[in-house]
Structure 1
Amino acid sequence: MVKVAVVTGSNKGIGFGIVKGLLKRFDGVVYLTSRDDGRGKAAVAKLNELGLKPEYHQLDVTDRDSVIRFRDHIKEKYGGIDILVNNAAVANSTSFYNNYEECKTIIEINYLSILTIQELIFPLVRENGRILNISSDCGHLSNIRNIYWVKRLSKKDLKVEDINDFANWFLEGIKEENFNYDDIADEGTVAAYRVAKVALSAITMLQQKELESKNISVNSMHPGLVQTDMTHGIGFYDIDQAAETPIYLVLDAPDSLKGAYVWYDRKVLDWYDYKADYFFKTSTLKTSTQKSE
């Protein structure tokens, strides 16, 4: 049986770095996927120049039909997946504050798409497989200052409806232009991205519970501030450095690491510690810019 690894949104950035790293170490097939065919095939050509040979398939995580086509392709060709890295994401704007349409797109790509992937792709993940959701420091609970939502997202019997309500609460507030930005850390900067990534980190723990019977590990992680198009080249790490911890988590981490929120240095953090100093700070961008100059 051929082992299969899949990385979503991997034609550039961290996803591309993860594919490259897996191709060097993983004993099996590695899929590079992208929303845009041209960009995906160009990324494959770059790896081919390095002597690396990924498989490619178009995959738009926000398009149900695209996800179904990808699912059917994998099912027919390989029968299942051993490693799934949910990396597809967008920040969508150079501004720290987004309009409603931008916020909606950010929530759809960074959070709601994972529900489609969970429904259609997760059943292909084989026993003892590993799933990694690429979150962010924006995805730690300390990014949320609204105590009602902190408590609701922290409850032991958390359900997907709670997380969906959280995302909808934010979008409704933006749409009605009455959202209180004090409910988000750092004066409410990049609020949509924070809400989406907090939702992604939260659902990771529900996914772990659902897949426990197959001994599949599901974790989320903050890859650090990485020099990518999404960060407009600002960051402390290049994509190869940023790929090291994700690759560790899907290949080398102990089987006991499940449902965890992991920092870029492999440290497992208490996601529920909403008073911690783990939230994203826009001042970090200035520090990074100064360091790279």
Structure 2
Amino acid sequence: MSTKVAVVTGANKGIGFGIVKLLLLRYDGVVYLTSRDETRGKEAVTKLEALGLFPLYHQLDIADRDSILRFRDHIEKTHGGIDILINNAGVSAGLEVDSTYEEAKYVIDINYFSILTIKELLFPLLRDDARVLNISSDCGHLSNVKNKYWVQRLSQKDLKVEDVNEFVNWYLDSKKNGTFNREDIADGGTVASYRVAKVALSAVTIIHQKELKGTNISVNSMHPGLVRTGMTGEVGFYSIDDAAKVPVDLVLDAPETLRGAYVWYDGKVLDWYDYNADYYFKTVTLFE
């Protein structure tokens, strides 16, 4: 019987590190800690080894196709497949509403378009009963979008990747052309690039699950809560260890029927399509 394999992207710090730590305590298989920066990744491994926990390490830059290919080839040759894939790697955008096109594209490339490459290159390695979890955000709920056209289009039950890509490119074009309207995005357009990327990520999670119909593979997304990490400026109501619990529960203990879901930090499954809901991210929460 082959060894079970769990992979966590962007795991040298923050929530990813916490997830690796908890998986090492609970999972009956090997756990890969991956990171863009090899030095920082190996430093994270050393920290876990000091606790008597022993992850495997491999460099993985989700924005670099060649890096994903190298990782894919390593996993295929060494293990033959993946049982758990947690797409955690990402970048924040600060609170700036007047970001440049280049800054917006950077945020969206890493938080959204990289997932399409991972789907293309790593999903073929997913074993039967594999579980994929995309770490989204409260910025990823559809209520973050206020533009009526895009609310309606993204609400389609037959939504396709092409629709999501057009939404993302509509936003990027508005940044390039100087036509971005802050009223199109919740909370006066704060962290617009991050919201657009995470809405797209949550939407494509649903699409990817539909594309896997007929398999036993589950793909879900979740908002991990406001966690005290470098990305949030150490502001939040969750520690890294606390924030790791629900993600790990979702990949280890969730029922097989949980598929294509958008899950809140407390484990509650929300209706992602409910654009009138009050689930969008509010910057005021950072200062309360």
TM-score w.r.t. the length of structure 1 is 0.97
Paired letter, 1:228:
T
Counterpart for residue 168 of structure 1: 169
Residue 154 in structure 1 maps to residue 159 in structure 2: no
User: Secondary structure, in 3 states, of the residue corresponding to 2:229?
Assistant: coil
Paired letter, 1:242:
A
Counterpart for residue 99 of structure 1: 100
- Structure 2 CA distance for partners of 1:255 and 1:211, relative to 1, 3 Å: same
**Percentage identity across aligned positions?**
68
Paired letter, 2:59:
Q
**Partners of 2:144 and 2:195 within 8 A in 1:** yes
**Partners of 2:93 and 2:194 within 8 A in 1:** no
Residue 53 in structure 1 maps to residue 54 in structure 2: yes
Counterpart for residue 200 of structure 1: 201
Cα distance in 1, alignment partners of residues 95 and 256 from structure 2: 39
**Partners of 1:97 and 1:191 within 8 A in 2:** no
Counterpart for residue 84 of structure 2: 83
Counterpart for residue 290 of structure 1: none
Counterpart for residue 262 of structure 1: 263
TM-superposed CA distance for 1:95, in Å, is 3.0
Higher deviation after alignment, 90-99 or 109-118 = 90-99
**Partners of 2:130 and 2:218 within 8 A in 1:** yes
**Partners of 1:226 and 1:235 within 8 A in 2:** yes
Cα distance in 2, alignment partners of residues 44 and 212 from structure 1: 36
Gaps of 5+ in 2: none
User: Secondary structure, in 3 states, of the residue corresponding to 1:68?
Assistant: helix
Counterpart for residue 7 of structure 1: 8
TM-superposed CA distance for 1:92, in Å, is 3.8
TM-superposed CA distance for 1:96, in Å, is 4.6
Cα distance in 1, alignment partners of residues 151 and 231 from structure 2: 28
Cα distance in 1, alignment partners of residues 98 and 130 from structure 2: 38
Q: How does 1:115-264 map to 2 (within 5 A)?
A: 115-264=116-265
Counterpart for residue 43 of structure 1: 44
Q: Deviations over 1:123-155 (max 9, x none)?
A: 101011100000000000000001111111111
TM-superposed CA distance for 1:15, in Å, is 0.4
Cα distance in 1, alignment partners of residues 47 and 214 from structure 2: 39
TM-superposed CA distance for 1:209, in Å, is 1.0
- Root-mean-square deviation (Å): 0.8
> How many residue pairs end up in the alignment?
287
